[in-house]
Structures are given as C-alpha cells and as structure tokens.
Amino acid sequence: MKPRCLTTSNFTMRISALKWMPWVDLKYEGDKITISGPMANLLNNLALSINFKYELFMPADREWGMIVNNTWTGMIGMLHRKEADLAIGPFARTYDRSKVSTFTSTVTTNHLTIMAGRMKDQSTNVFGYILTFDWQVWLGLLIGMIVLILTSLLIDAIYDRKYRTFPTATRRAGQHFWTFFATVFCEASPNLPDSTPGRFLVAVWWLAIIVLMNAFSGHMKASILLKRDVNKIQTMKDLVAQGGIQPLVWKGTAYEAYLRDSQSQDVVAVWKIIQNYPGSLLTQEELYNKVNLRAVLSGQKVIIKDIATMTHVITNRCHEFNDGEFYFAKEIFFKHNMAMAMRKDLDPCVKKEINRRIRWLVEGGLFEKWLKESYGELGKCSDIDHSKMEVSFGLQDVGAIFILWLIFTGISTAAFFLELCCHAISKYSGIKY
C-alpha cells in the first residue's frame, strides 16, 4: 500500500533556495526561476518519486540562516515563519537550526579550510646565494681564518727571528691574510709560507675551502634551477603568525557562527583578526569577485570556506589568473554533515518519504556523482606544462648573480681608488700607509 502522501493530488511545496555553486545554480528566465546543480537534481528526483510540484522562492536578505537580534534570517527564517516548506541549502546541521527546523537525512559531508595563493614568479633575493650558509658558518669561517693567521705568525716567529718585531709581523700578517682570503675564492697566492708547518696549514685550509665552496656552488646551481617556495599557510596558527593577512568569510552562515563561537585558541585569534578588518564578512558573490581573488594570489587575503565550493571556483576561474596559483591549507576544521531543512510542522508522511529517497540516492552514489561532475577538472589548473619541459633561463633567473657581481665590483673599484689616494698622500706627505 502506498503512503498517503504519494496518493495525494495537487500537492505543491514551497521551496526556498539560494545560488551556491556548485550545489545550486539559480537563473531568471523572465519572471520564472530555473534551478540546476546537484541539489536541483536531488529535488527533481524527490518531486518525481513523491509526486509533488514545487515553487521556488529566495529569501529577501539572501542569507542562509542564523540568529540576529533573536530573529532568524535567510532560508531558515522562512521555514521558521512558515513562508516555505523545504529549503534545499544544503545546510550545515547545527543545534540552533534544529530547534526551528527539521533536517533531512544527510546529503554529504563537508569541511572548512583556508584557501590562499601565491604568484608563480617570485621576487629575486639578491643575497639568497650568500645565505646558502647561515651566519654561523660564515662566522666560523672568519674565526678559522683569524686563528690560522695568528698560528702562521707564531710559526714564522719560531723559524725566523726577523718576524719577531712588530712592524715585520704586521706586514707578514697582511701577507697571510691575503693568502687565506684568496683561498676562499679558490685563488692561488704568490706569498706562501717558507716553513713546512706553515705550508701544512695552508694545505689544510685549502682542503676545507674546496669542500665548502663546492657545496656553495652546488647550492647556487640548484637555486637557479629550482625556485624557492613561499611560506605557505597550512594551519590557522600559520595564518595568525604571518600577520597582515585579511581572512574573508561567508556572512550569515554557520561558518561565520563557528568562527565567532569557537573556543579553540587558534580560531579565536583568527576571529579577532576578522573583527579588525572591515569588510571581512561578505556574501557569496563578493567573496569570489576578481578583486578579492587577486588579493588572495598576492598574499594579502585568504578565504575561509568549504572545500567543495572553493574547488569549484578554482576549477572554473583559474584561467583568469595565469600569473599565480591557488592552494588549500592542509588543516581542515568544522567537519559537518550537510542536509536539506524542512518546516517543523510539515506532514510527517512527506518528511519520511523525503528522508527515505535521499538515503537511496546518497547510498547509491548518485548524489556524489552529480557533485563531482559539477566540480570540473581541478588538474587543468596545474602549473606544470608537460608540452614544454625545456625552458631557457631568463634574466630573473640569473639576475641576482649579476647584481652581486656589480656590488663586489663596486667595492673593488672603491678600494682601488682608496689605494690610489693613499699612495698619492704618502708620496707628497712622506707618510707611509
């Protein structure tokens, strides 16, 4: 025997809906609203199998539904005021919403994450090659050179009495300095020590420098071939630590309520940042306008939202931003079940049949199939171009090397002119420098 609600004729339901890609797409055709997307497919299957017709309505405030001044907004508010029978959402199932509406069986599971971006062409760090070794290594190299110079002076004084006076020791120290300093740049020195222990010190220094400089030059080559990655935002803590980045959130939704009411220390810190930036709570259309997406790519903003919607946006709009790429943080949070919402006093028979058919469609994998088809192919937005594997170096790739060369050439030129000045002064004044 068929349920009573399946035999009722002239059964029309008032459906509340809002555009939310990829779940729901609404378009105006004259005075009529047409609906498409995975949730529309689900609704049409329900209407066909349960035998009802429907009319579409949109909430005037264009919001999903949350409590503002003890009043429910959006689609949930329409159900609460009995202006609609079913809101297709899909909605995050929260306790507050369940008090004024009834959720259907779970349609899908979703979660929030952070969408950030980066430019493909990173700015050149002129001193990045020098910083192959950190400052401790360079300091150790300097201290080692000073120790070897002093040891060489001690050996000279032991083997030759003429180096025991301060003037001769000073000149000898200068010769030792240029011997060890030139070795750092793999240059031979014409002033080698006369004694065997002194030559042994130079040989040991040469061996150390060969190892270090080969490692240094190898890293320089790798730095030219491989671009240094930016510091990605992978967690809420990263977002707070980097500072100066504005989080954007979908207003009037459970996502806003979660960030506002969460007790997690990291989430509370992010919510404080959101409050400090005016315009951080935006509508669906405002979130993904070109200005905001460009700001995400440049690292000025991030979007905190559900993974399904952001995947759809990236897939369909990545061609507008060929100079950069979007990425998702590794951390996920607010994992939640999503469902339609029904009016509390809707016919129990209709509620039962809606839930039964939703379970059939979801467990059969049909809804997941509709959802994946609406995503598109995220792989097409990859920055890897397999059609062109060999790429010539550009000026940006080797520019830092030339800049460093110019800097040291300038220092050498300044030292040369300083020597000329000192020579001229000593010639005319009789003072030796």
Residue pLDDT tens, the chain, 433 long = 556 666 555 678 999 998 888 888 888 777 777 888 889 999 999 888 888 888 898 898 888 888 888 889 889 999 999 999 999 988 888 888 889 999 999 998 888 999 988 876 555 555 556 666 777 888 888 898 899 888 888 888 888 888 788 888 888 888 888 888 888 877 777 777 778 888 888 888 888 888 888 877 777 666 665 555 567 888 899 888 888 899 999 888 888 888 888 888 989 999 999 999 888 998 888 888 889 988 988 889 999 998 888 888 888 877 788 778 888 888 888 888 889 999 998 888 888 889 999 999 888 888 888 888 777 655 555 544 444 444 555 555 566 667 767 877 888 888 888 878 877 777 777 665 5
Neighbours of 252 (CB within 10 A): 21
* CB distance 298 to 291 below 8 Å: no
Q: Which of 229, 230, 228, 225 is nearest to 398 (CA)?
A: 225
Q: How far apart are CA 202 and CA 180, in angstroms?
A: 7
Return the structure tokens found at 384. Answer: 């890897």
Neighbours of 172 (CB within 10 A): 20
pTM of the model: 0.61
* CB distance 61 to 74 below 8 Å: yes
The Cα-based distances of 422 to 97, 167, 173, 291, 368 in angstroms read: 85, 19, 20, 59, 82
